[in-house]
Structure 1
Amino acid sequence: MEDFSLQGKVYLGESINGKPGAMHWVNDAALLQVSPTASEEKRKESYSGNRGTSATINTGTEVSFSLTLNHGSAKNLALGLYGEVKTVAAASITGEDFPEDLLAGDLVMLERGNVSSVVIQDSTGSPVTLVEGTHYAVEDAVGGVIKIIDLSTLTQPLSANYDHGGSSDVLMFNQAPPVRYLMMNGMNTVDGSTDKIRVRLYRLKFNPVGQLALINDTFGDLQLTGTLLLDSAAELDETLGPYGKLELLDAE
Structure 2
Amino acid sequence: MKDFSLQGKVWLGENLNGQPGAMNWVNDAALLQISASSEEEQRRESWSGKRNISATLSTGSEVSFTLTLNHANAKNLALGLYGTVNTVASDSVTAEAFPTGLVADDHVVLDRGNISNLVIEDSAGSPVTLVLDTNYEIADAVGGVIRILDPASLTQPFNADYDHGASTDVTMFTQKAPVRYLIMTGENTVDGSADKVRVRLYKLKFNPVNTLDLINDQFGEIQLTGTAILDTNNEPSADLGGFGRIELLEAS
TM-score range, shorter chain: over 0.9
Letter aligned with residue 194 of structure 1: A
Residues in 2 aligned to 1:192 and 1:73: alpha-carbon distance in whole angstroms = 32
What does the per-residue CA deviation read over 1:151-189, in whole Å, with 9 as the maximum and x for residues that have no partner? 122111110011111111010111111111100000011
1:85 is matched with: 85
Deviations 1:7-40 (A, max 9, x none): 1000111112111121111011011011011110
Residue in 1 that maps onto 2:151: 151
Distance in 2 separating the partners of 1:242 and 1:40: 19
The 10-residue stretch of structure 1 (88-97 or 233-242) with the greater mean CA deviation from structure 2: 233-242
**Deviation of 1:45 (Å):** 2.3
Q: Equivalent residue for 2:122?
A: 122
Of the structure 1 ranges 33-42 and 231-240, higher mean CA displacement relative to structure 2 is found in 231-240
Q: Determine the structure 2 residue equivalent to 1:19.
A: 19
Structure 1 residue 239: deviation in Å? 3.8
Distance 2:226 2:184 in 1: 17
Report the alpha carbon displacement of residue 125 of structure 1 after superposing the two structures with TM. Answer: 2.0
Q: Distance in 1 between matches of 2:149 and 2:162?
A: 19
Query: Which letter does structure 2 place at the counterpart of 1:203?
Result: K
Q: 1:139 to 1:192 in 2, by over 3 A?
A: closer
Deviations 1:67-107 (A, max 9, x none): 00011111111111111111111111111010011111110
TM-score (norm 1): 0.97
Q: Deviations over 1:100-150 (max 9, x none)?
A: 111111100000111111110111222111110111100000110001111
The one-letter amino acid of 1:188's match is N
Q: CA deviation at 1:205?
A: 0.5
1:243 paired to 2:239? no
Alignment coverage as a number of residue pairs: 252
Work out whether 1:95 is the aligned partner of 2:105. Answer: no
| Secondary structure at the counterpart of residue 232 of structure 1 | coil
Matched residue SS, 1:235: coil
Cα deviation, residue 227, structure 1:
0.5
Change (3 A) 1:134 1:192: closer
Q: Give the secondary structure class of the aligned counterpart of 2:233.
A: helix
Equivalence for 1:210? 210
Could you say which residue in structure 2 is the equivalent of 1:190? 190
Following superposition, the deviation at residue 48 of structure 1 comes to 3.0
Q: Percent identity?
A: 65
4+ long deviations beyond 3 Å: 236-239
Residue 112 of structure 2: aligned partner: 112
Unpaired stretches in structure 1, ≥5 consecutive residues = none
- Say which SS state the counterpart of residue 79 (structure 2) adopts: helix
Which residue identity is paired with 1:183?
Answer: I
* Cα drift, residue 216 of structure 1: 1.0
**TM-score (ref. length: structure 2):** 0.97
RMSD of equivalent CA atoms: 1.1
> What amino acid is aligned across from residue 114 of structure 2 in structure 1?
N
What are the ranges of 5 or more consecutive residues in structure 2 without an aligned counterpart?
none
